[in-house]
Amino acid sequence: MSETKLRELICVLAKSMFDRGLTGGSTGNISARTDDGGLLVSPTGTSFGRLDPARLARFDANGRFIDGDKPTKEMPLHSAFYDTRTTTGAVVHLHSCHSVAWSMMPEVDPDNFLPPMTPYSIMKLGKVKLLPFFMPGDPAMGAAVRGLAGKRSAVMLANHGPVVAGTDVEAACNAIEELEDTAKLAMLMRGYDAKMLTAEQVNQVVTQFNVEWEK
C-alpha cells in the first residue's frame, strides 16, 4: 500500500472508532508500518475524529523521527510491540469504556482478561494480558509489554485502556473492537449465570483457527 493511501486509511479508521464512541476527546493513538519499514503515528494530543493525514508523525526504518507533528507520548507501548512481535504491522490503543470498566472488576483473570464468551475474541486476540496501572506516558508500560516476549498480541492497561497489535492497521482495529465488544458482553452478563464456552470448545477454536494461545 502506498504511504498516501496508508495515511488516509489510518485517519478513516480512527474517525470511524471516534464516531462510534470507542474513544473520545483527544484519547487513543494509532501507528502503522510503512512499506519501507518506517512508521506513521498519530500525533500527541490529537482527536481520532480529526486526524490529518498530512500531519501524522513519520519515523524512518531506524526509528528516527523525520517529519510531521510530535508523536503520541505512548510511543514506548507501540515500539514494544514492533520490537517483540515481527508480525506487527500496526498498533492501536483506545480508552474504550467497557474494557476499562471490566479491568476494574475483582473477578478478572489477569492472565486471560476476557471471559470465553464468543469464538471471535479468541480468534482475533488470543489471550489478553491485564497489566497493572501505570501513569499515562510512563515508559514502564513499554517495558511491561517487552516482558511478555512477544507472546501476546493484546494487553489491557488497568483503569486505562486496551492496546492491540495486528498484521496491518485494519486487522488491529478489528481486533481492538472485538476486545471492547467482548468486555461489553462481560459487563452485561455480570451477575448472571451466563453460559461461557467450555474449555473443549475454546481448544477447538484455538486448534481450528491456529490461534496463538499460551498455555
DSSP string for 142-206 = HHHHHTTTT--SEEEETTTEEEEEESSHHHHHHHHHHHHHHHHHHHHHTTS---PPPHHHHHHHH
What are the residue ranges of helices labelled H in 60-106?
A: 75-84, 97-103
Give 145's contacts (C-beta < 8 A, 6+ positions apart).
Answer: 77, 80, 81, 84, 131, 155, 163
Tell me the whole-structure pTM to 2 decimals: 0.96
Q: Where is 8: in which H helix or E strand?
A: helix 3-19
C-alpha cell at 60: 524512518
Q: Number of C-alpha atoms within 13 angstroms, CB side, residue 107?
A: 6
Mean pLDDT in residue range 67-93:
96
What are the residue ranges of helices labelled H in 53-112?
A: 75-84, 97-103
For the four alpha carbons of 41, 155, 162 and 164, in that order, the dihedral sign comes to positive
The single residue of 65, 82, 120, 213 carrying the catalytic annotation is 120
Return the pLDDT at 201.
97
Domain-by-domain residue ranges, the chain? 3-208
Query: Does the annotation mark 120 as catalytic?
Result: yes
Is residue 52 predicted with pLDDT exceeding 70?
yes
With cut-offs at 50, 70 and 90, classify the pLDDT of residue 137.
confident
Return the pLDDT at 209.
96
Domain 3-208 fold: L-fuculose-1-phosphate Aldolase (3.40.225)
Average pLDDT, the chain: 96
Is residue 170 predicted with pLDDT exceeding 70?
yes
With cut-offs at 50, 70 and 90, classify the pLDDT of residue 215.
low
Q: Which residue has the cell 507501540?
A: 78
